[in-house]
Structure 1
Amino acid sequence: MDKASFRIGQIVPSSNTTMETEIPAILQASSAASGAHFTFHSSRMRMKHVTREELAAMDADSDRCALELSDAHVDVMGYACLVAIMSMGKGYHRESERRLHQRTIENGAAAPVVTSAGALIEGLGVIGAKKIAVITPYMKPLTQLVVDYIEAEGVEVQDRVALEIQDNIAVGRRDPMALVEIASGLDLANVDALVLSACVQMPSLAAIPVVEAKLGVPVISAAACTAFRMLQSLNLPAKAPGAGELLSGRYTDVLPTGLIGETL
């Protein structure tokens, strides 16, 4: 590590209220392992309702956000909408990460780019998960798109819950501890992991250690995976207490794969 302070850029849907709380909480908790200090900087894309049409329009605005954040010379960027990426077609996170990283290069301030969609796929690979259960706040058709996207990456989704909340503000206002009961109703027989929130807007961080202890399965979330990939890109120990299996410290020596513009 060649410096102790890092600028974290976040490309955020305009109605998202959770990415700017959970990601900072995880990264600040990780500082005990690294001594690093973080500042957080956001650029927003318009989106109020989680529909395929609004998601596509929002994604088209992500290039502007990458340029704005690179004006601040951030050290890493996180794209904070998993379903926007996954609804654009299988494997799209790779294209998005390449394109947005290229925008930072063109602006003279190259920064690695993490999408929450790509981070979830990578996180499942790191812990060796081949069969999972998933909780989403999305409508059932969008949840099916998420399931199809994950399965196209070689991971079987054994069970899923779609909470069918279209209003993105309502998603962000959910009590994370409500996920404890929801998770208990899933079929977790022989799963390798539970994705407690496949959405960086649906709060889940407080529930992760509770569900992990209660159900005895590794628990991750889109936000925890995003934080893991950010820490990897900054060459910092990918470890944070209370953030689930991926950030438990068991995977701090795993090298990043597939992250566009990583600095290792």
Structure 2
Amino acid sequence: MDVSFLGGPLPQRGIGVVAPFDFALDRELWRWVPDDVSLHLTRTPFVPVEVSLDLARLVSEHETLREAVRALTAISPEVVAYACTSGSFVGGVAGERAMSAAMCQAGEIPALTTSGALLAALRELGAARVAVVTPYTKSVTDALEEYLREAGVQVCGRSYLGLTREIWRVPYRDVVAMAREAVAEGPDALFISCTNLPTYDVIPQLEAELRMPVISANQVTMWSALRSIGKEAVGPYQALLDPVARRGPAAMTPEGGGGPEVALTADPPPLFPDEEG
């Protein structure tokens, strides 16, 4: 049968992604990506270390990143992103910049990291005070706070799980519970850390409840990578990505805050039908 009339396949833009060896959320990354963009993922070599500051340092060594980027250049992505929050904040602001520079040099293409994308997203939202939610241990969470403070961002609340393995199995209910605890002091935004922590569906729910922008590690990584090639991430009801959402529930002050409360969009359907709000 002659199928020449089909033409195609349609041209695809390419984003390279370097992820830690235990990254389990490939499908979640794809949910932020428009149909005419492809993700090309590679992983760092396995090391027998649990999630910790030691692991963060091991999976972010410059030579490891260079080798991963060189492998990706065979398929000519337009940008490469290092999708690991702890691995990109463990060396502080200077360490993050050095990682991006090493990847850029290795592939001769633009490069970014999750932690660098986080700072860009906070600037985009005008958020100077942030609460953080992490699945990490205390020491890793402390390192995230130090990175944000070094970048001029005030951390005014936090909640963490203390996990050292299988973070991708954390249910949305646990993320919601941590978020509610972390925002007691009324931050400008909430950041949910770790690219191995599922967040896509919970972001609009939390924004509707907490009345503030909610951003996550995978979200800011995809937002920044796509923006660098002139594309927009796909994320209905997510304030970072959807200007209408930013003017709606996420722009409202918390209950009792006295700010304007004019929602321009309907709240998304609840994730948990047995809960109100």
Same fold, TM-score > 0.5, yes or no? yes
Matched ranges for 1:74-113 at <5 A: 74-105=77-108, 111-113=109-111
TM-score (normalised: structure 1):
0.82
Q: What pairs with 1:44-59 in structure 2 (closer than 5 Å)?
A: 44-45=43-44, 46-47=46-47, 49-59=50-60
Moved more, 138-147 or 180-189: 180-189
Counterpart in 2 of 1:141? 139
Q: Tell me, what secondary structure is at the counterpart of 2:72?
A: helix
Identical columns (%): 26
Give the corresponding residue for 1:160: 158
CA RMSD of aligned residues (A): 2.0
Change (3 A) 1:16 1:238: closer
Which residue is 1:39 aligned to? 38
Structure 1 residues 206-221: aligned runs within 5 Å:
206-221=201-216
Q: Partners of 1:67 and 1:228 in 2: how far apart? A: 23
Larger relative contact order, structure 1 or 2 (CA cutoff 8 Å, min sep 6): 1
Equivalent residues of 1:239, 1:249 under 8 A apart = no
- Flag as ranges the 4+ runs of structure 1 deviating above 6 A: none
Distance verdict in 2 for CA 1:163–1:228, change over 3 Å: same
Match for 1:95: what amino acid? A
- 1:229 equivalent to 2:224? Answer yes
Contact kept, 8 Å, 1:136 with 1:199, in 2: the verdict is yes
The 2-side partners of 1:239 and 1:204 are apart by 14
Aligned residue for 1:245, secondary structure, equals coil
1:22 paired to 2:24: no
8 A Cα contact 2:20 2:84, kept in partner: yes
Matched residue of 1:204: which SS? coil
Which protein has the larger Cα radius of gyration, Structure 1 or Structure 2? 2
| 1:49 alignment partner AA | E
Query: Paired residue for 2:239, among 220, 236, 245?
Result: 245
Aligned residues: 233
Secondary structure of 2:240 counterpart: helix
Letter in 2 for 1:13: P
- Alpha-carbon deviations, 1:174-229, whole Å to 9, x = none? 1124312221222343311011x211111111111111111111111111111111
TM-score between both structures, scaled by the size of structure 2: 0.79
1:98 CA drift (Å): 1.1
Residues 227 and 219 (structure 1), Cα distance of their counterparts in 2 relative to 1, 3 Å cut: same
| C-alpha contact 1:23 1:227 (8 A) present in aligned 2 | yes
**Alignment match, 2:72:** 69
